[in-house]
Protein backbone atom coordinates (compact mmCIF):
# COMPACT_ATOMS: atom_id res chain seq x y z
CA UNK A 1 0.00 0.00 0.00
CA UNK A 2 2.99 2.36 -0.33
CA UNK A 3 2.67 4.78 -3.23
CA UNK A 4 5.47 6.82 -4.73
CA UNK A 5 3.79 10.23 -4.85
CA UNK A 6 5.40 13.30 -3.28
CA UNK A 7 2.09 15.02 -2.44
CA UNK A 8 0.73 12.20 -0.29
CA UNK A 9 0.91 12.48 3.50
CA UNK A 10 2.55 9.92 5.76
CA UNK A 11 0.25 8.43 8.39
CA UNK A 12 1.36 6.68 11.55
CA UNK A 13 -0.37 3.64 13.00
CA UNK A 14 0.08 1.61 16.17
CA UNK A 15 -1.52 -1.51 17.68
CA UNK A 16 -4.63 -0.58 19.65
CA UNK A 17 -3.46 -2.87 22.45
CA UNK A 18 0.34 -2.81 22.42
CA UNK A 19 0.71 -6.14 24.21
CA UNK A 20 -1.24 -7.86 21.41
CA UNK A 21 0.70 -6.34 18.51
CA UNK A 22 3.65 -7.81 16.63
CA UNK A 23 7.07 -6.15 16.23
CA UNK A 24 5.71 -4.22 13.23
CA UNK A 25 2.64 -2.61 14.83
CA UNK A 26 3.65 -2.81 18.48
CA UNK A 27 6.25 -0.10 18.04
CA UNK A 28 4.27 1.79 15.40
CA UNK A 29 4.83 2.17 11.66
CA UNK A 30 4.29 4.71 8.88
CA UNK A 31 2.28 4.37 5.68
CA UNK A 32 2.22 6.70 2.69
CA UNK A 33 -1.47 7.06 1.77
CA UNK A 34 -3.73 9.30 -0.23
CA UNK A 35 -5.94 11.56 1.87
CA UNK A 36 -8.98 9.89 0.31
CA UNK A 37 -7.80 6.36 1.30
CA UNK A 38 -9.56 4.68 4.19
CA UNK A 39 -7.56 4.40 7.41
CA UNK A 40 -5.96 1.01 8.05
CA UNK A 41 -7.98 -1.05 10.50
CA UNK A 42 -5.66 -4.05 10.90
CA UNK A 43 -1.91 -4.61 10.88
CA UNK A 44 -0.76 -5.99 7.51
CA UNK A 45 1.65 -8.33 9.37
CA UNK A 46 -0.45 -9.84 12.18
CA UNK A 47 -4.01 -8.54 11.73
CA UNK A 48 -4.06 -6.76 15.11
CA UNK A 49 -6.52 -3.84 15.41
CA UNK A 50 -4.83 -0.46 14.79
CA UNK A 51 -5.26 3.14 15.85
CA UNK A 52 -4.22 6.10 13.71
CA UNK A 53 -1.82 8.40 15.54
CA UNK A 54 -1.73 12.17 15.38
CA UNK A 55 1.75 13.27 14.46
CA UNK A 56 3.46 16.62 14.11
CA UNK A 57 4.14 17.88 10.59
CA UNK A 58 7.72 17.83 9.43
CA UNK A 59 8.94 21.38 8.94
CA UNK A 60 12.54 21.99 8.05
CA UNK A 61 14.77 24.60 6.53
CA UNK A 62 13.41 26.10 3.35
CA UNK A 63 14.93 24.81 0.13
CA UNK A 64 12.42 26.60 -2.07
CA UNK A 65 13.37 30.17 -1.18
CA UNK A 66 10.55 30.49 1.35
CA UNK A 67 12.86 32.22 3.85
CA UNK A 68 13.79 34.85 1.25
CA UNK A 69 10.16 35.42 0.27
CA UNK A 70 9.09 35.68 3.91
CA UNK A 71 11.85 38.20 4.61
CA UNK A 72 10.80 40.20 1.55
CA UNK A 73 7.20 40.21 2.80
CA UNK A 74 8.28 41.71 6.14
CA UNK A 75 8.27 38.61 8.34
CA UNK A 76 10.92 38.12 11.01
CA UNK A 77 12.81 34.92 11.82
CA UNK A 78 14.26 34.02 15.21
CA UNK A 79 16.72 31.27 16.12
CA UNK A 80 16.41 29.61 19.52
CA UNK A 81 19.60 29.92 21.55
CA UNK A 82 18.42 28.31 24.75
CA UNK A 83 15.48 28.14 27.08
CA UNK A 84 13.64 31.42 26.60
CA UNK A 85 16.49 32.96 24.57
CA UNK A 86 16.12 33.82 20.90
CA UNK A 87 18.27 35.70 18.41
CA UNK A 88 16.73 37.66 15.57
CA UNK A 89 17.92 36.31 12.18
CA UNK A 90 16.26 38.98 10.01
Owning domain of residue 40? 10-55+65-88
- Sites in the chain below the pLDDT cut of 70: 1-8, 56-64
Q: Is 1 a member of any domain?
A: no
Which residues make beta-bridge pairs with 74?
Answer: none
Q: Is 83 a member of any domain?
A: yes
pLDDT value at position 40?
92
Q: Is 3 a member of any domain?
A: no
Cα–Cα dist 29/44, whole Å: 11
* Number of domains composing the chain: 1
Question: Are the C-beta atoms of residues 48 and 42 closer than 8 Å to each other?
Answer: yes
Amino acid sequence: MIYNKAAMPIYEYEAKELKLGCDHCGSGFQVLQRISDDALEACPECGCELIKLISAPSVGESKSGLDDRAKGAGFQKYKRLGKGEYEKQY
